[in-house]
Amino acid sequence: MDIDELMRRLSELYPEDYPDGFQDPFFVLISTVMSHRTRDNVTYPSAKKLFEKFSTAEEMAEADVVEIEALIRDVGFYRVKTGRIKEISRILLEKHDGRVPDDMETLLELPGVGRKTANCVLAHAFLKDALAVDTHVHRISNRLGLVKTKVPEKTENELKKIFPQRYWKHINLLLVKLGQNVCRPISPRCGVCVLNDMCPKILL
């Protein structure tokens, strides 16, 4: 498959347009933790509402649990995520002077942070060459025949072998948008997909 052509088509279809706040590593970290099992159109309005009230690790650590829960109530598992937000904020204050770490190992030590979340922080907040694999990236990569993998961690490793490093930080954003709008888990819209002539698994 022509990787450069694939990225060209997706980049033209979905010009990079990061939500407000994506220049702030703390916002990226907390909003990505909030996004687990929650749609983006719910996550980001809730994250913006939360950060209008508490925008730093110190403010978040000192915030009342009930108040955070009320602000992010629309997010799935909001009580569990409130606990993680408080704990992450406490750890950042105690161990990292309130700053979000910019390396994978340290990020993975934070509660509720897996490789996908850590890679999102590294790619979007720190503009590092990190490749975040969520359910959309995993599904679409297998549908396109780029990989034959069972778990996202393996997908990440295989995609890094296929895509030049300069593309890594862009893959998540592009394939997530494709997965939300076209290459959906159920009833994918193959007939209107810009990659349909490249895809071996057209599901018309």
Residue 193 marked ligand-binding: yes
**Active-site annotation holder among 86, 134, 169, 177:** 134
Q: Determine contact, residues 191/204, Cβ cutoff 8 Å.
A: yes
**Active-site annotation holder among 48, 95, 103, 116:** 116
Q: Is 116 a catalytic residue?
A: yes
Spacing of C-alpha 51 from chain mean position:
18
Q: Determine contact, residues 74/43, Cβ cutoff 8 Å.
A: no
Nearest 10 degrees: Cα torsion 193, 35, 118, 30: 140
Alpha carbons 60 and 45: distance in angstroms, whole number: 17
Q: In 10 A of CB 30, how many CB atoms?
A: 28
Residue 120 marked ligand-binding: no
Residue 183 marked ligand-binding: yes
Binding-site residue set: 183, 190, 193, 199
Binding-site positions for [4Fe-4S] cluster = 183, 190, 193, 199
Active site residues: 116, 134
